[in-house]
Amino acid sequence: MSINYLLLWFVGISAASTAIRSFTQPEKVPRGWRSLAVLTLGLLGLSSYFFYPYAGYVVAAFWGSFVFLPRWCVALLQHFLQQGNLRYARELAQFAALLSSSPEWSELSTILQESGDDSPLPQAREVFPKTQLARSALLSTYTSRGDWTGLVRWIEKVCTRQRLVSDAVLLSLYIRSLAELGRFEEALSLFEQNTQTFLRSSDPEHLFHAFLTLFAFCGQEDGVQVLLAHPLKGLPEEVKKLWLATTKLVVDEQFSANDVLVSLTHSNHAGIATVAEERLSARVPRVLSSFEPGTLDRVARLKHFLADILNAQAKDVDAHSPRGVTFLIGLTCVAYIVQEVLGVWLGERAPYQLAALVPILVTEYGQWWRVLTCLFLHGGLLHLGMNMLGLWILGPFVEQVFGTIRFIGAYLLFGLGASLFVVFLTEIGWLKDAYLIGASGAVLGLIGATAAILLREAKNNNHAAKEQLRSVVFILVLQAAFDLTTPQVSFQAHLGGVICGFIVTWFATKPKASLQAS
């Protein structure tokens, strides 16, 4: 089995499933993808016939370029909007709208058509964008120009109060706009009244941006430093400098702030350059001395609120950290290193002769350690990498259900079940000359475990679990097809792992509410 072979399989399955869905669920497949999928399958067949050793790389590059094109288009669109280049953004939206049936790009293209190459979008636009992409693009056209007055007017004109306080993105930008215009107390009250909107949001970054706005425009440099060092540490350095300079202006440290702001006026990011110029010309709407003591007390309480949120997040991350998965991956990699070292000292085949699963050596000579040691032997870096990738993807969800210690035991038990299943089939004569190495039986056990967890949730009318269970079944069908058509892959070990994983998990775990496999 080679990388070329794996790529052919993955691309073939992906293109074939897309083509099938384009007929069975045409509303869910963007237009043009049916033809693209068929073209990819044709290219796969021709390249496999004429230059098989490179066919997988060719079709993977062709298919992958289109699969990842939407993400690339979104990233490029954001870049153009940040630079204030509406013409390029409009042309990109038109191009993407031709390739995709998604209403996002069609709506975005229509919105951008209303603007000239350098002119802003009509502030009087009264239609609230239906899609998230169009909304984000429209909001970016205001923020990239620093048009906070226009943004406030647009939000107040097209958004109902209910829509505003239920959308974390809009609410965060509205709070910043109010602060930029000197309406700090109004922004602070809006935040205090609607913290639940941010806490319910799937992206906590909007909450932290709102905190950043309030702390910066109230001169709380320590709060800004905490945000930029931890939850918002991924922000570009220029953005961090802008917020710190803003904080210094509020506390009347103009000299140190001006040097930073002058350098930021040359930024390629239109929004940063525009805001830096505004800060230099108009300073900031309010300075610290203009705030009432009561306002500063409210901001101080927000610092304690932020500390509580960060502590809760740290505990949650710690509780859900896949320690068991990390331990097993590390243990398997160490075992592979030991295997390679022993191969150099004792001969290349020595590790396999000592630890691989050979059923007759188990049953006739009592070498039962092989049913477990075989899990830690691998036939090369590709074999090791594929199994550890599977463990990394599938393991965290199962570990969340079992707990770390029980998960490690369950994983080893899944691998043991796969090995014993092969031994059993050999004993009854259904399998001959079996020779087994690798952790794939245990990894497939994780799929069986996931199926058991989702089936139990589906029986409790969890619709998300039902959808995910269908995906798991589809994966198992594909895995079976791959096993049966690929030499040197043990379908029997994988089947044993799946069965063992399902049975052990079904009886060893209890139902847990609201679990979703990622």
Please give the Cα distance from 450 to 501 (Å, whole number).
8
Q: Concatenate the DSSP letters of all residues of 304-327 into one string.
A: HHHHHHHHHHHHHHHHH--HHHHH
Q: Which residues contact 239 (CB under 8 A, 6 or more apart)?
A: 269, 272
Q: What is the H or E stretch that residue 372 is in? A: helix 370-373
Torsion of CA 7, 8, 10, 15, to 10 degrees: 130
From 318, 315, 246, 311, select the one nearest 285 (Cα to Cα): 246
3-state secondary structure 442-494: HHHHHHHHHHHHHHHHHHCCCHHHHHHHHHHHHHHHHHHHHHHHCCCCCHHHH
Residues marked active site are found at 440, 494
CA angle 62, 78, 283 (to 5 degrees): 160
Torsion of CA 491, 493, 497, 498, to 10 degrees: 20
Please give the Cα distance from 505 to 184 (Å, whole number).
54
